[in-house]
Every structure is written in structure tokens, then in C-alpha cells.
Structure 1
Amino acid sequence: MQDQVSENLSERLFSKVRKIQETSTISNSAETMDEPCGEQVLIEGVCSNAWYRVLRRTYWIWQGADPIELEEVLSRIATGEGERSHPDKLDTLKGYAPGNWIYEFSQLAGEYLKKGRDLEEAQMPDAARNAYLLAARYYSLASYPHLKGDELAEQAQVQGNLAYRDAGRLMPVALRELKIPFRDKEICGYLHLPSDEHTVPVVMVSGSIDSLQIDFYRFYEQYLAPNGIGMLTLDMPGIGHSSQFPLVQDTSRLHQAALHYLRDEVPWVDNQRIGMVGVRLGGNVAARLAYLEPMHLKAIACIGPGLNQFFVESPLFNQAPPMLRASLANRLGADAKDWALLQPQCQIFSLKRQGLVGVTKTRVPILSIGHKRDFICPESDIRTLASSSHYGKALVLDKLPVMQVFDRALRETCDWLKLHFNI
């Protein structure tokens, strides 16, 4: 019966959207894409002129995707037959059909969702949980880069969250979904606990403007849970469960509300040991919160955060590849076609311009991590952020491959939290 319900839901979600707007045309109405020539290596992955999306193979595999399955899907997308929104971009095939990015990853996700149902019915909860997590992983990939108004992607997000909740029922401590009141609306967050028999330290985690909160389970499972640290994931403004909240200068307003809710309303949380980990724009949120809530945050870690220079220096801003441009424009309700007009608008996100980072100091311990070759968070921003805390530390990485760097960043982050949580 559950299988039938899931299949019927999938049919309802996707049957009427075969000719819907293709992802690369959302928030970018330009007929051609202004982009750097050749292959551009970012700390998250590779931006190639042949693909609209930034391919983060190593990162996706680390998150749980099977490398063989991943390459098979990418191959089907690359060889898909049909009209593309941008003929030179392999992943821009129109319509919900074979070769379309969302279609291919959703098909694979659906297989794992069904497998999870079958395994759960066979009384194999651990295997079922892993299948559900893979379903959530592939639905998240189907939705990537999670643009508001991308109807196919939004349906994949719905499915991904359902699969994640199914996995959550079978976790060692059941996943808890928090509904946090905020201005007559609700902020949705997923709370993972290593134990519900006593209070535990908790870290809020948020990513970039092209990631979902269901993308961070591996960080919890491998790094936080073994050290007795809980995790509350939150979507950034304009994304996923937080898509109803626009991205504005006060980037941290949702997380500030979540912080107060954790302190005052959640009985499993040690309210004297709450921290935050932010990646990319999530790092902007974490740093901002360190100034606004110095008495309530125990420590933060920022990984490759967008802080200042990317927003105020045109040469850096213009290095953004097409997908990142569309993602940023999407959160602002703008069109990436007008990129030159966006840069002045985005200067409001500079924490230096806001009179915070590099201007005053906070007592919240800040771990600032970045890569020497990162245009979004140059080395000077990394060091400026660390020096903006009375108890700051900078870690500037300069080696590839990316995942070795990323693994070190996460290990350093976990050690930093343990140090300041007195674990």
C-alpha cells in the first residue's frame, strides 16, 4: 500500500509538468551565458563550459552517492536526445523526459525509495534507512541547484524531504522536525540527537545558496554524533523549507529565531552549549550571529564563507559561474541577465560594510576556514574573520584534491566544537 501511495504521489507530482520551464532558464533570461573560458576549478567542484551546473562529483560521493550510479546518470544526461535550452550545455534538456537532469536523478531516487519500503516491510530497518537516505540524496541532486520557481525541482524537493523523514524514523534516535514560529510563519528544521536521555550540545548547520538542509546527514553521522553533538539543520532564506523568506541584508534572522527556540523550547538541548557551522553564505550567517548573540553562542565555524570581498569587488563577483549567478539572483528575486546591476545590490551582504567583521570584535570563538584559491572567500577575508574574534583561528588550505581538503576542514571544525563545548 505504501509503495502504491508513493508511486501515485510521484505520478501526481510529475505528470503535468512535462513541458515546464527548464532549470537553466530560471532567474537567467539571457540567451547566452557570460562565463569564464575553459574549466574552472572551485573548492566545491568543477565548472565546465559543457555543463550549466557545477559538478561536485567528489562531494556528492562523500555525501553518499554511489560513484558508478552517479557516472551512469551523468552519462545518460550527456547523451540525452532532444532540444536543449542551451545547445552547448549538456544538462539543459527540456521536458521531464530521459536525458533531463531532474528526470534522471528522480528515477534513480524513486528506485531507492521503493527499495526502502520493501526493506522496511521485510523488517530490515538499517538497510531500509540507508535506502531512504540514498533516495533523499538523489532527490536532492535532482533538485540541484534548488531554484525557487523551478517546478520540477520543487517536486523533487518534496520527495526528498519525505524520503529523509522516512530515514529519520529509523535512525538510532528518531529525527525530530522542529516548527519554529517566525513572523506569523514557521521555520522548518531537522534536529538530530545522539541521545534523548539527557541534554546534549547542539550545532546549527546551514550551507550555501545552492544546498538543502537534507545534505548534511553525513557530517552529523561521521563527525558530530560520535562526539555526542546534536545537529539542527536549517535551509537558508529563499531555499527549500525557507523559500518563503527572502534573502535580505539581515541574513541571520531565521537562525537567530532558531537559536532562541533551541535555548528556550527544546528540552534535549544544553542551552549553554549551542554553536553554528556555516558553509559559504551560511558562514555569513554564522559570523553575523556571532556579533548579534555573543552571550548565547558558544562557538562557530565558517567554511569558505562569503563575507566581504566577493560582494564589493567586481572582478571577484564576475568570476561567478552561470549556476551561481542564477542561484544568487533567484534568492534576490532578480535576473542574472542583469549581473552588472546585481553587484551593487549585493554589497549589503558585506559584513564589513555592515560594521561587523574587520571593524569590531566578538567574544564568540570563530574558526575561519578557506582555500587559498577561492574567489568567494579570499585569504584576506579568512584571516580578517579570525581576527574579528577575541578567540579566533584561521585555517588557510592550499591543496587538492578537494575532498581531502574538505575532510580536513570538517575534522578541524569538529575539534573546534569539542574544544569549546568542553567535550
Structure 2
Amino acid sequence: MKLYRIITLLLLLASHLQLVRAQDYAFNSAEEAISGWYHTFDYKGWASRGVDLENAQEVIGKIAQSTGEKRSSDFVDSQIEFGPGNWVYEWIQMGDRTLEEAEKLTGSTRLSKLRSALAYYTIGSWPHLGRSDDSQALEKAVSTYMQAGEMMTVPVRHIDLTVNGKTIKAYLHVPAGEGPFPFVINSFGSDVTKEDSFDLFYRELGPRGIGMLAVDMPGIGEAIELSMQDGSDAVMEGALGFLKNADYADSRNIFIVGGSFGGNAAARAFYRLDVRAVVSMCAPLHSALVAPPEVLDGLPKLTIDGVKARYGVLDRPTAELTVLTKQTSLKVQGFFDAGNKISKPLLIVTTNRDPVSPLRDLDMLLESAADSEVIILDMEGHCPPRWAREPMIARWVADKVVN
């Protein structure tokens, strides 16, 4: 059974899938993409994560005045030297200032400040290329995440997972109450780390009695020793093995949720892993992964740098990347051609004008699903905003829990 829905913000309207060409649409909205800047300004998304927009404007103003040597003359925010005017430096300063404020507070006001500091650090590290300056910001984000997570009724645990013989880190959130609990394994994309998962548990999953194991994609964050060439769902598979052996996790109710490249991993897991259900959001499944270099170079440089870093070819020509991304296509891997229907529930969440996740690619995935639902937000750009999609995802997961 297929159920299609198209959403204008939160208004549900019946619709059908359209065929689109990826290159027809912008990756970011006009409000986010500012000419002359490497990074984009997602003010609404930042605010939903606890960013004080006056503080954000202060940081951006300092970066705009940068006079240091640039990594690229095209981008004002690409100062190389780690100091005043450098993107990472200025966001770290704001994070440190906010963290100092949090240390003087208690209860919900302290948690609010910690969420803000966490957001400043992750924005500073973004797109998490593993360079020395952004690694400093990410280390501070990890520490701040743990401080915020320790304020949960059941404190967060920073656990080890073994993936392809290597040890990586993940955040384990167990809900309050008596288990075993349903669990979500959550991962984001090529330029977003698991440190952005906090609100999904804090606001949505935890209150519904659902646990979360937040992981990084291969090649990013605390899974940087891995590569997308190890398999996009390799970390998810390791996380699943961990939860299957945990007495607090209900092995009948383990869900996989992934966005962007994490959505590719979730779609691959849909075919390969024994889980209750899968949520795949705005996933590059085929077309963008087999596109020629000139098409990929038409996407934002930050985005392509993030993808290159995940494959271990940062600062290399895009032609080298396309050889690798082709092997991540689910069609090239043969999953779309298997011919069998898969019974586990599948939810797809996307926009109807996503340049790297065209609806025709999603339809190939849906052909394999016996029980699927599609939620399409009527908007241009890659991926629905987290503040809009996460409540929908949590409700859907809760509805799919079996007793």
C-alpha cells in the first residue's frame, strides 16, 4: 500500500509524485544562500536549536569584517588563520561565552543555554571537514552534548560501537520508565554530525518513551576513521547489533531514521537489515550519485566539500569523487532490481523540488515497499527543515510500535 501526501508547511493536501530534473532546483532557499559566503544562514533552523539570533548576527558581523587571507577569494567566510574573523573561531567564542553563562544557572534555564552553546559549536564546525580548527569546535560540541544529556532523567551515555573492526562513538539515550523500550537509530547527512540529534530525543522521542542511538555517517564526526566506501549503512548496522544485545531495547521495535546521505543509508538498511521500520528523508539514491562532475560542481561548494570529505577525497577534483559516489547508488548496487516486495513499513519524507533527491528516484525505492507512506513538503531545496519533519517522524514511529 502506498500513501502519498504533499504538505505546505503543515497543511496536508492529496497529491501525486511528479517527475523532476535535479538540476532544475536550488539546493538552498533564497533566504539561506547569500552571495559571497561559503556557509548559508538558516536562521529559522538555528533558532529552533536554541540560537539567539542577535548573537548569530553579532558573529556574522565579525566574520564579515575578516581581513585575513582567504582559502577562496570567492568567500568572505573562508579566512584561513584561526583568529578574529575566522568562521570557526567566532562561533567558538560565542559558544564559550554561552557555556560560561550556563554554568551559573540550574534546571531548565541551564539546559536552554547548553542547547544554545551546542548549536554555536556545531555551526562553527560545519561542514565538519576534519581540519584542525573545525575539529576544535566539534570537540567542544561533544563535551556540551554530554553536559546537556546528563540533565536528562536517564543521563546520556557516550558509548563505543565496533564497525568494520574500528571503534567509533555514539550517543545512547534511554527513556525514563520501565523498559524494554522501542529505539530509533538516527543519522544525518554528509555535513551534519550526531551532535544535532539532541532535540529529536529531548523534544520528540523521549517524551513518547522511545530511545535513541545517535550515530555519525561514515567519514564524519566520531566516525571519521570510516569512509562511505565501507557502505553507507555500515554504522547503522553496527548500532543495530549493539541494540539487539541490550536488555533495555525492545528488539521487535528498532527503527532506522536517516536524512540526506543518512537517508541513503536508511534506504540501504531497508533492504538489508532486520528492523521494525525505516524512515528515509531527502535521500540521494541514484541520479545525483551518477551525475557527471560538472553537475555536482553546480551544487554549493560547502555541500560538495562535505561529500568529498566523507569519501576521503577532500581537495581533490570532483571527477575523482564521481567514481566513488556511483558505487553508492542503490540502483547501481542492484537493490532496485531485486523484484521482491519488502514488508517492513517505510516512510519517505522530502520536498517536491530537491535537486539531489528527485521524486523519480524515490519512486524506484517505493516499488520495493509493500507498506509505504510518503510525505512531501511543497517547498524548494534539499531536505525539509528539522523543526518541521521531526515531530512527524516521531509520531509515525510511535504509531508503528508493535506490542
What TM-score results when the alignment is normalised by the length of structure 2? Answer: 0.87
Of 56-65 and 155-164, the range deviating more from structure 2: 56-65
Query: What is residue 13 of structure 2 aligned with on the other side?
Result: none
Distance 1:401 1:379 in 2: 13
Find out whether 1:201 has 2:212 as its counterpart: no
Give the alignment of 1:2-401 within 5 angstroms: 40-42=26-28, 46-119=32-105, 124-148=106-130, 150-248=131-229, 250-264=231-245, 266-293=246-273, 296-314=274-292, 316-357=295-336, 359-360=338-339, 361-399=341-379
Distance 2:389 2:377 in 1: 9
Distance 1:46 1:219 in 2: 23
| C-alpha displacement of 1:335 | 4.2
**What secondary structure, in the 3-state scheme, does the structure 1 residue paired with 2:355 have?**
coil
Of 344-353 and 75-84, the range deviating more from structure 2: 75-84
Distance 1:320 1:129, change over 3 A: same
Identity %: 27
Distance 1:45 1:363, change over 3 A: farther
Alpha-carbon contact 2:45-2:387 (below 8 Å) kept: no
Alpha-carbon contact 1:203-1:275 (below 8 Å) kept: yes
Distance 1:63 1:102, change over 3 A: same
Distance 1:402 1:306, change over 3 A: closer
Distance 1:85 1:407 in 2: 33
Query: What is residue 7 of structure 2 aligned with on the other side?
Result: none
Distance 1:391 1:203, change over 3 A: same
**What secondary structure, in the 3-state scheme, does the structure 2 residue paired with 1:302 have?**
strand
- Higher RCO (CA < 8 A, seq sep 6+): 2
| C-alpha displacement of 1:197 | 3.0
Distance 1:48 1:310 in 2: 24
Distance 1:351 1:190 in 2: 28
Alpha-carbon contact 1:106-1:142 (below 8 Å) kept: yes
RMSD between aligned alpha carbons?
2.4
| Letter paired with 1:133 | R
**What secondary structure, in the 3-state scheme, does the structure 1 residue paired with 2:183 have?**
strand
| C-alpha displacement of 1:181 | 2.7
Write out per-residue CA displacement over residues 330-376 of structure 1, whole angstroms, 9 at most, x where no aligned residue: 12221455113322321000011111136443222111121121111
Write out per-residue CA displacement over residues 8-32 of structure 1, whole angstroms, 9 at most, x where no aligned residue: xxxxxxxxxxxxxxxxxxxxxxxxx
Alpha-carbon contact 2:229-2:324 (below 8 Å) kept: no
Write out per-residue CA displacement over residues 177-209 of structure 1, whole angstroms, 9 at most, x where no aligned residue: 221233443221111222153221110110011
Distance 1:376 1:277, change over 3 A: same
More helix by share: 1
Query: What is residue 415 of structure 1 aligned with on the other side?
Result: 395
**What secondary structure, in the 3-state scheme, does the structure 2 residue paired with 1:47 have?**
coil
Distance 2:380 2:286 in 1: 25
| C-alpha displacement of 1:273 | 0.4
| Letter paired with 2:270 | A
| C-alpha displacement of 1:321 | 1.3
Alpha-carbon contact 2:124-2:137 (below 8 Å) kept: yes
Alpha-carbon contact 2:183-2:213 (below 8 Å) kept: yes
Alpha-carbon contact 1:303-1:369 (below 8 Å) kept: yes
Alpha-carbon contact 1:368-1:385 (below 8 Å) kept: no
Of 392-401 and 165-174, the range deviating more from structure 2: 392-401
Query: What is residue 16 of structure 1 aligned with on the other side?
Result: none
Alignment: residue pair count: 377
Q: Unaligned stretches of 5+ in structure 2?
A: 1-24
Query: What is residue 17 of structure 2 aligned with on the other side?
Result: none
**What secondary structure, in the 3-state scheme, does the structure 1 residue paired with 2:237 have?**
helix
| Letter paired with 1:186 | T
| Letter paired with 2:229 | V
| C-alpha displacement of 1:255 | 1.2
Distance 1:386 1:249 in 2: 25
Alpha-carbon contact 1:129-1:170 (below 8 Å) kept: yes
What TM-score results when the alignment is normalised by the length of structure 1? Answer: 0.83
Q: Unaligned stretches of 5+ in structure 1?
A: 1-38
Alpha-carbon contact 2:263-2:282 (below 8 Å) kept: yes
| C-alpha displacement of 1:410 | 2.6
**What secondary structure, in the 3-state scheme, does the structure 1 residue paired with 2:146 have?**
helix
Write out per-residue CA displacement over residues 48-90 of structure 1, whole angstroms, 9 at most, x where no aligned residue: 4311123322222222211221122112111223332223311
Distance 1:404 1:241, change over 3 A: closer
Distance 2:164 2:315 in 1: 29
Alpha-carbon contact 1:277-1:302 (below 8 Å) kept: yes
Distance 1:391 1:404 in 2: 22
| Letter paired with 2:115 | L
| C-alpha displacement of 1:327 | 1.2
